Amino acid sequence: MTVKISHTEVIQRFFKEAAGFSSDNGNPRLKSIILRILQDSARIIEDLDITEDEFWKSVDYLNRLGGRSEAGLLVAGLGIEHFIDLLQDAKDEQAGQTGGTPRTIEGPLYVAGAPVCEGLARMDDGSEEGVAIVMFLEGQVFDLSGQPLAGATVDLWHANTKGTYSFFDQGQSEYNLRRRIITDAQGRYRARSIVPSGYGCDPQGPTQECLDQLGRHGQRPAHVHFFISAPGHRHLTTQINLSGDKYLWDDFAYATRDGLVGEVQFRDDGARGVAGRYAELRFDFQLQQAVAPAAEQRSHRPRALQQV
Ligand code: MBD
Ligand code: FE
């Protein structure tokens, strides 16, 4: 029987030392997490016979990943962000906190502080007029009993026709395709925007480099992101993924879920005062009640332009 070096007393004691367990200072929670990372890394290195070249290549990869600010993209692409949703779903099920619109991943491209509008927002800056299809996106926010929630905040963001997001794409105007809409007395939000295109990872970036090695693409279907919040109700992070997209059920970030497919209707009847073809998308949301005040807030994930 071969003894695993990583499991021996000596090595375990060494990693406890490296994780700060000999010190009274520092953060006990982080010490436990780092210890586990060291133990599990050692097991991977030993069990999979990781070569020195593989090890240093992965260290260099992490440097390049961070250098391009793609860590948030990689965790989405490897399905870890989706796993966190599945884990929370299971915890909710056990706690009996069920019902309402399903959650799905936030992704790495939110920007805090979008303009606030009452009931109705124009989201696009008009720069893609003639290229983009105008989209009327509207719906209501309800509680689980079907009561409309007035004064809810619908914070939404989506890509342009090139699949890129303002702020991250410096070619777009500030807060293009990002708004916070406060629902009216009937719990309604209404937006005039454009039909987004799906997102694709930078083919030259480190995330796509990893996906290439896994034999995977880095494409998302066209989608619209939402943070929905209302006093006394549980914060919801979700997305509408658009029907008819080639990648609807082949999303590299695994965000599409049953109940989150938006049926886009294309019309050409002039009824909205738009000449030619335009799109309509209706989507309602149901929020759970908040079990504690903290449940009304989104996660404290560090985000662009967020005041801390
Ligand atoms: C996106 O637009 C997105 O929503 C996710 C999850 C990952 C990359 C780009
Ligand atoms: Fe997105």
CA of 147 to the centre of ligand 1 (A): 32
Ligand 1 pocket test target in 83, 106, 109, 157 with most atoms within 8 Å of CB: 109
What pLDDT, on the 0 to 100 scale, is given for residue 265? 97
How many angstroms is it from 94 CA to the middle of ligand 2? 30
Ligand nearest to the backbone CA of 157: 2
Residue nearest to atom 2 of ligand 1 (CA): 199
Which CA distances in Å does 297 have to 44, 237, 268, 291, 300? Answer: 37, 10, 40, 12, 8
Query: What is the model's pLDDT at position 1?
Result: 59
| DSSP, residue by residue, 79-135 | THHHHHHHHHHHHHHHHT---SSPP----S--BS-PPEEESEEE-S-STTTTTSPEE
Domain 80-305 has CATH 2.60.130.10: yes
- Residue spans of the domains in the chain: they are 9-73, 80-305
- Residue 209 one-letter amino acid: E
Residue nearest to atom 3 of ligand 1 (CA): 107
Contacting residues for 149 by C-beta, under 8 A, at least 6 apart: 141, 142, 143, 183, 187, 230, 233, 287
CA of 233 to the centre of ligand 2 (A): 24
Q: How far apart are CA 135 and CA 277, in angstroms?
A: 10
Residues lining ligand 1, Cβ inside 6 A: 73, 76, 105, 107-109, 199, 220, 253, 255
Q: Has this prediction a pTM greater than 0.95?
A: yes
User: Is 38:15 a contact under the CB 8 Å cutoff?
Assistant: yes
The whole-angstrom separation of Cα 104 and Cα 241 is 10
Q: What residues contact residue 100 under an 8 Å CB cut-off, 6+ apart? A: 144, 234, 236, 285, 286, 287, 288
pLDDT in tens, the chain (308 residues): 578 999 999 999 999 999 999 999 999 999 999 999 999 999 999 999 999 999 999 999 999 999 999 999 999 999 999 999 999 999 999 999 999 999 999 999 999 999 999 999 999 999 999 999 999 999 999 999 999 999 999 999 999 999 999 999 999 999 999 999 999 999 999 999 999 999 999 999 999 999 999 999 999 999 999 999 999 999 999 999 999 999 999 999 999 999 999 999 999 999 999 999 999 999 999 999 999 999 999 999 999 998 86
Q: Which residues contact residue 115 at a Cβ distance below 8 angstroms, ignoring those fewer than 6 apart? A: 121, 175, 178, 179, 180
CA 116 to ligand 1 center in whole angstroms: 23
pLDDT score for 2: 76
Q: How many angstroms does the Cα of residue 173 sit away from the middle of ligand 2?
A: 17
Helices (runs of H) and strands (runs of E) counted in the chain? 6, 12
Residue (of 300, 262, 303, 301) closest to 283 by Cα position:
262
| Collapsed DSSP state (helix, strand, coil) of residue 235 | coil
pLDDT given at position 307? 82
